[in-house]
Amino acid sequence: MKNAFFNEEDLSVLLSCSKWHLVSSVNSELPPAKPDNEYLEWLTQNSDVHQHREVMMVLSGTSCFTLDGVTYQSRPGTIFLLDANEKHDLYYPPSGGSIKHLWFRIVNKTIFTGTPSGRTIRKVPGNNEFNYTFSGYNHAGLAFINAWDELAADDRLDKAFLSLLVKNAFAGLVLELCKAGYNKSLGMEGKPTELHHQTVINAIVEHIRETGGRHLDIDRLAYIAGYSRFHFAKVFKEVTGSPVLVFINSCRQEKFRELSAAGKNKKQISEKLGFSSPAAFSRWLKGNR
């Protein structure tokens, strides 16, 4: 049966969990790789850090991928757990051939997944771009998030056991995603409803509030939600009644008041809010009084 999200090559990787390899900053089933100079030069200008968790699963193609300062050779079946505030590759290096990665963005127990346009720059034949959102209280999603938390926090249990625990939980997430793809092929999945948009935007709103808008803009938030920039801005205003940038600034002001009340000085607040320099912070502060 045809799957609306994945081709046969994708499914052969997704449904072969015994061949998966897990990589995280606390435990890796793959050894570090020695990158070439071309990749290292590219990496100096192409790294990212953000305050939400992401998972990247390789479906096809091979390349280098650096997580938290360690480079690995990524190949089909490799699963990278990118924790909040961990430095990792942004986009894809110039070397290598066609690449297809499946991304999961985790924000406030809501999981956004897909192969978003503009992130996979060298595509493979049959690469169906899609986005799918797991409910904030979806069983498979919560099981995976809890297993990841345990991997990061529990030093009493064997790491091999914890890796297996995470992979088994992730398999439940993958099976649900594959099932959604089959349902869509059968015409059993309708267009996104108003309730769906509300779920997506509510998760984004809480993320902005928690982070105080640190390093957030329309492009990054649209990417997390799996929407185009224009569609995200439109839906965000419909749900919240406020333009995205106005809401981000309002949350930044609230976070400033919260940090000030906690006794933080201006330098500490500037760093916490993600301003590029004290001067930029001073200009923002002056414009919001």
Tell me: the pLDDT tens digits for 90-100?
888 877 667 88
pLDDT score for 260: 83
- Of 151 and 67, the structure prediction assigns the larger pLDDT to 67
3-class DSSP state for residue 257?
A: helix
Place of tokens 């904030």: 136
Q: How far apart are CA 243 and CA 218, in angstroms?
A: 10
Closest CA to 218 of 210, 209, 227: 227
Cα–Cα nearest to 178, from 134, 221, 146, 144:
134
CB-CB contact of 101 with 62 (8 Å):
no
Q: Give the C-alpha separation, 228 to 221, whole Å.
A: 10
> Which strands, in side-by-side order, build the sheet including 78-82?
21-23, 78-82, 53-60, 100-107, 110-114, 131-134
**For the whole model, what pTM was predicted?**
0.85
Pairwise CA distance, residues 202 & 198, whole Å: 6
| Average pLDDT over all residues of the chain | 84
- Distance in angstroms (rounded) separating the CA atoms of residues 269 and 280: 12
Q: In this predicted structure, what is the pLDDT of residue 193?
A: 59
Label residue 9 exposed, middle or buried (CB < 10 Å: 0-12, 13-18, 19+).
middle
| Number of residues that make up the chain | 289
**C-alpha span between 216 and 275 (Å, rounded):** 11
Largest CA distance in the chain: 61
DSSP E strand boundaries for 237-278: none
| pLDDT cut 70: percent of the chain above it | 90
CATH 1.10.10.60 residue ranges of the chain are 194-287
Pairing of strands 53-60, 78-82: antiparallel
Q: What pLDDT sits at residue 197?
A: 81
Q: Which of 49-53, 148-152, 253-257, 266-270 has the lowest mean pLDDT?
A: 266-270
**What are the tokens at 64?**
């280098």
Fold of 194-287: Arc Repressor Mutant, subunit A (1.10.10)
Residue 119, pLDDT above cutoff 80? no
**Predicted local distance difference test score (pLDDT) of residue 16:** 93
**Number of Cβ within a 10 Å radius of residue 83:** 18
Q: How far apart are CA 228 and CA 280, in angstroms?
A: 29
> What is the average pLDDT across 173-179?
92
- Contact between 56 and 102 under an 8 Å Cβ cutoff? The reply is yes
- Of 81 and 212, the structure prediction assigns the larger pLDDT to 81
If you average pLDDT over residues 81-109, what whole number do you get?
86
